[in-house]
């Protein structure tokens, strides 16, 4: 069966992989606001192969959750190939390998951004994944090579071209080194240089906090598409704003009612699609991002920390909305 290609382009903003956050309820929320493609949180290939508890939950999906790219991390070619194979059996078709994560637990396995320290193994792993998933079905999300914060770009370019020749479907670049974490600024020149030498699509990531940032990044770099990360965590409607800007329409100011609708919808999706208290606790981290900067945001955070059921959360929000009503 011929699969349609993943939508990539200026008019198709993606939701980036976000460990702990790009879960099923959040992905569906972002899709309602116009996210064209969503990427799962990173999933350990080893965890998947060894059926470790917790991994299955990261792969929860639903019929409306398409197109969906599963992001894996790991550094052992046979394990990655096996993981792709197992995912294919469960109906997943698009994959991504994390070559950018700078969390110590991931780096210690030689995975994430550490893959750029061992290019031969990275290429072997990429080949194994592409060999299993098929040409064009796997993307790779990169950071800058460790010595590239300032100048040489040749190592990243050579590596990217090897991935392209091998049958990668697309690349994504968050143009900072792992050592930089989120410090400094994303290097738009590196994005531009990489976009110029690839024939497969390049997705831009990094410092896309608003739709204006996104459009500016596309214009400045010539990247084929982009993925919103922290910008979506702050405002899942960033996708709708992005699409409005693409159509040269004015952005509508966001008021309390708008924010309220976003939050209610996220809660409704979470209650509908998850069980137990795990998501409820997650909401303690999610909701304060939505209301950051508003009067009463800190008090809301404190009240949420004491919330043990959805009723408590609703009560904390009711109190917050009364304070914030005229603030934006
Ligand atoms: C909370 C959080 C979780 C993330 N998890 C992942 C992940 O699982 N896989 C990945 O490749 N990148 C991950 N990233 C990186 C983002 O996808 C993105 O590349 C990065 O945040 C830069 O984009 P931004 O500056 O627009 O947020 C994560 C970022 C954040 C803030």
pLDDT (tens digit, 9 = 90+) per residue, 111-125? 999 999 999 999 999
Question: pLDDT at position 144, please?
Answer: 92
The atom of ligand 1 lying closest to the CA of 141 is 11
pLDDT band at 293 (very low <50, low <70, confident <90, very high): confident
* pLDDT reading at 48 higher than 90: yes
Instruction: Tell the residue nearest (CA) to atom 2 of ligand 1.
Output: 18
pLDDT greater than 90 at residue 145:
no
Whether residue 276 has pLDDT greater than 90: no
Interval between CA 141 and ligand 1 midpoint (Å): 10
Is 305 an annotated catalytic residue?
Answer: no
229 lines ligand 1 (CB under 6 A): yes
- Of ligand 1's listed atoms, the one at least distance from the Cα of 71 is 9
- What's the pLDDT score for residue 87? 97
Q: Which residues pair with 188 in a beta bridge?
A: none
Query: How far is residue 46's CA from residue 105's CA, in Å, rounded to a whole number?
Result: 13
Among 30, 38, 101, 246, the one annotated catalytic: 101
Closest CA to 193 of 166, 160, 157, 159: 157
Q: Is 200 in the pocket of ligand 1 (CB under 6 A)?
A: no
Largest separation between any pair of C-alpha atoms in the chain: 58
| Ligand 1: centre distance to CA 278 (Å) | 21
Q: Which atom of ligand 1 is nearest to the CA of 41?
A: 8
**One CATH from 3.90.1150.10, 3.20.20.70, 3.40.50.2300, 3.40.190.10 for 14-246:** 3.20.20.70
Question: What's the angle, vertex CA 14, arms to CA 12 and CA 15, rounded to 5?
Answer: 155
What local confidence, expressed as pLDDT, does residue 323 receive? Answer: 81
Query: Which helix H or strand E contains 65, and what residues bound it?
Result: none
Q: 2 pLDDT exceeds 70? A: no
17, 42 in Cβ contact below 8 A?
Answer: yes
Contacting residues for 267 by C-beta, under 8 A, at least 6 apart:
283, 310, 313, 314
Domain parsing of the chain, residue ranges: 14-246, 256-324
Q: What's phi and psi for 99, nearest 5 deg?
A: -120, 30
Taking 80 as the threshold, does the pLDDT of residue 150 lie above it?
A: no
C-alpha 229 to ligand 1 mean position (Å): 6
pLDDT band at 4 (very low <50, low <70, confident <90, very high): confident
The residue to mutate among 15, 18, 285, having the most atoms of ligand 1 within 8 angstroms of its beta carbon, is 18
Neighbours of 322 (CB within 10 A): 9
Read off the tokens for 178: 């792992």
| Cβ atoms within 10 Å, residue 38 | 26
**The pLDDT of residue 301:** 93
Average pLDDT value for residue range 132-150: 88
How many angstroms is it from 248 CA to the middle of ligand 1? 28
Number of H helices and number of E strands within the chain?
15, 9
pLDDT at 326: 60
> 18 CA to middle of ligand 1, Å?
5
Question: Ligand 1, atom 18: nearest CA belongs to which residue?
Answer: 229
Rounded mean pLDDT, 298-305: 92
Please indicate whether residue 205, judged by its CB atom, sits closer than 6 Å to ligand 1.
Answer: yes
Assess whether pLDDT exceeds 90 at residue 229: yes
According to the model, what pLDDT value does residue 328 have? Answer: 54
Q: Give the torsion sign (CA, 206, 198, 169, 161).
A: negative
Average pLDDT, the chain: 94
* Residue 167 clears pLDDT 60, i.e. is over it: yes
Q: Is 96 in the pocket of ligand 1 (CB under 6 A)?
A: no
Q: Which atom of ligand 1 is nearest to the CA of 174?
A: 19
Q: Is the pLDDT of residue 273 over 90?
A: yes
Cβ of 17 below 6 Å from ligand 1: yes
Q: What is the pLDDT of residue 149?
A: 58
- Whether ligand 1 lies within 6 angstroms of the CB of 230 is answered as yes
pLDDT at res. 102: 92
Ligand 1 proximity of 21 Cβ (cutoff 6 Å): yes
Instruction: Give residues with Cβ within 8 angstroms of 66, minimum separation 6.
Output: none
Digit-coded pLDDT (tens) for 195-228: 999 999 999 999 999 999 999 999 999 999 999 9
| 80-95 pLDDT per residue, tens | 999 999 999 999 999 9
């Amino acid at each position: 069966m011929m699969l349609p290609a993943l939508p990539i382009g200026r008019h198709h903003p993606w939701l980036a992989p976000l460990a702990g956050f790009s879960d099923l309820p959040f992905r569906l929320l972002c899709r309602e606001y116009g996210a064209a493609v969503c990427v799962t949180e990173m999933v350990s290939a080893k965890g998947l192969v060894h059926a470790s508890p917790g991994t299955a939950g990261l792969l929860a999906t639903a019929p409306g959750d398409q197109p969906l790219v599963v992001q894996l991390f790991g550094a052992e070619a046979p394990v990655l190939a096996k993981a792709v194979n197992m995912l294919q059996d469960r109906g997943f078709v698009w994959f991504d390998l994390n070559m950018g994560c700078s969390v110590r637990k991931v780096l210690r396995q030689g995975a994430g951004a550490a893959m750029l320290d061992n290019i031969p193994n990275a290429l072997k792993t990429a080949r194994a994944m592409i060999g299993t998933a098929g040409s064009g079905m796997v993307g790779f999300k990169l950071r800058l090579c460790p010595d590239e914060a300032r100048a040489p770009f040749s190592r990243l370019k050579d590596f990217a071209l090897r991935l392209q020749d091998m049958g990668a479907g697309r690349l994504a670049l968050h143009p900072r080194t792992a050592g930089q974490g989120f410090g400094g600024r994303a290097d738009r020149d590196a994005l531009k240089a990489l976009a110029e030498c690839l024939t497969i699509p390049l997705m831009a990531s990094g410092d896309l906090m608003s739709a204006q940032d996104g459009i500016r990044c596309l214009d400045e770099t010539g990247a084929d598409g982009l993925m919103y990360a922290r910008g979506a965590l702050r405002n899942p409607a960033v996708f709708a704003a992005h699409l409005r800007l693409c159509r040269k329409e004015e952005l509508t100011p966001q008021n309390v009612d708008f924010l309220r609708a976003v939050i209610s919808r996220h809660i409704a999706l979470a209650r509908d699609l998850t069980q137990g208290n795990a998501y409820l606790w997650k909401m303690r981290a999610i909701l304060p991002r939505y209301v950051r900067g508003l009067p009463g945001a800190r008090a809301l955070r404190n009240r949420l920390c004491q919330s043990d059921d959805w009723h408590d959360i609703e009560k904390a929000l009711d109190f917050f909305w009364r304070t914030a009503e005229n603030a934006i």
